[in-house]
Amino acid sequence: MADHASNGHQSNGTGGFTASGLRLKVGLAEMLKGGVIMDVIDADQAVIAEQAGAVAVMALERVPAQIRAQGGVARMSHPNMIKEVMAVVTIPVMAKARIGHFVEAQVLQELGVDFIDESEVLTPADEVHHINKHDFTTPFVCGAKNLGEALRRIAEGAAMIRTKGEPGTGDVIHAVRHMRQIVSEIKALTVLDPQELYAAAKNLQAPLELVQMVAKAGKLPVPNFSAGGIATPADAAMVRQLGAETVFVGSGIFMSDSTTKLEVGSFKPGDTFRHTDLIDGEPVAAERLGQKVDLAHFGKYRNPADRAEAESRAKAIVRAATFFDDPKIVAQCSADCMGAMKGLAVANIPAEEMMQNRGW
């Protein structure tokens, strides 16, 4: 870890607040383009995600749908869980810090995660300030509902933007709304006179330099991904066609409707079996309770039908996100996908329970 700090400082000067530091951060985001980033709650789900072709995993204790159902304060994940996930996959590992919680972010950087998500899915820690992300060598991704919000996050040092959607619902409507909003606001800037950009910056509440940059390039200065409510291959292909460069999926992969309860990922290395658990589809005999789960046997100790369903869905969504503009392949992916998570229509969620309205 001491090595990390010295290396970081050698190349980045003070934290990431240099052109080269930013280039390294945005560089990793470039490497993640055209793929799917999956929420995982343990090492086994991370293995399923990697095998399905995910470009990165987001390690968190509860997926958004669980957070939504269970309520309470949602915080940064336990470091041990994050370390386990980092140990079993070779793809980049991301983890979430609460909005404004710079100490959680310091902890995640110390753990060596590859990307920090300053996320509205967790309970915000500061009602005014977001994290000054220039202070870190680890790159950050932040959510945004519109262009002004995206540019404010970029000004604070975010190396990647993801549209917010409404996480944990399996309802894609707000991911679509926010992607359309940002894309159309960008388009609108490109037809303005240079003189008009000052007023545009004021209206967007974003720095003039960034507004000028977007007007000229016709795109954000960092990669723009999509997240929130994406649950099917067709959802993933749709947000890609609308302009998302990569797709974040959470609850859609590892949860199911009420008739099939997915238990994938119910074990962690070092866990002990519970009496309800299955080994190769058979209930665990009493004398085997307490046996340690060995990493080498990952995947053997669970209901094969559940695991197959999770694997089929993960693979189908990854493939649909890559071949998003080929209806024949997206149709095939949709057919390959066994079941879908139970949806929760965003229209039925009271405004105060919306996660997307956290952050500003």
**Position 74 contacts another protein (CB under 8 A):** no
DSSP string, 236-297: HHHHHHTT-SSEEE-HHHH---TTS---TT---TT-B--TT-EETTEEPPGGGTTPBPPGGG
Closer Cβ to another protein, 160 or 204, answer by number: 160
Q: Which of 3, 127, 193, 287 binds another protein (CB under 8 A)?
A: 3
| 142's tokens | 């932040």
CB 59 within 8 A of CB 79: no
Task: Return the HEC string of 50-75.
Answer: HHHCCCEEEECCCCHHHHHHHCCCCC
Contact letters (x/-) for another protein, 120-159, by CB under 8 A?
Answer: -----------------xxx--------------------
**Position 56 contacts another protein (CB under 8 A):** yes
In whole angstroms, the minimum distance from the beta carbon of 4 to another protein comes to 5
**Position 241 contacts another protein (CB under 8 A):** no
204 Cβ partners below 8 Å, 6+ apart? 147, 148, 151, 185, 211
CB 329 within 8 A of CB 319: yes
Sole window of 113-121, 122-130, 205-213, 259-267 interacting with another protein (rule: CB under 8 A): 113-121
Amino acid at site 148: G
Q: Which residues of 154-165 are buried (b: 16+ CB within 10 A; e: fewer)?
A: bebbbbbbbbbb
**Position 17 contacts another protein (CB under 8 A):** no
Closer Cβ to another protein, 160 or 349, answer by number: 160
**Position 60 contacts another protein (CB under 8 A):** no
Contact letters (x/-) for another protein, 320-359, by CB under 8 A?
Answer: --xx------------------------------------
Angle 265-60-82 from CA coordinates, rounded to 5°? 85
One of 25, 33, 83, 96 is an active-site residue; which one?
Answer: 96
To the query of whether residue 96 is one of the catalytic residues in this protein, the response is yes
Sole window of 24-32, 64-72, 256-264, 298-306 interacting with another protein (rule: CB under 8 A): 24-32
**Position 253 contacts another protein (CB under 8 A):** no
Which positions lie near another protein, rule CB under 8 A? 3-4, 7-8, 10-12, 20, 23-24, 27-28, 30-35, 50-56, 86, 90-92, 109, 112-115, 137-139, 318-319, 322-323
Active-site residue set: 96
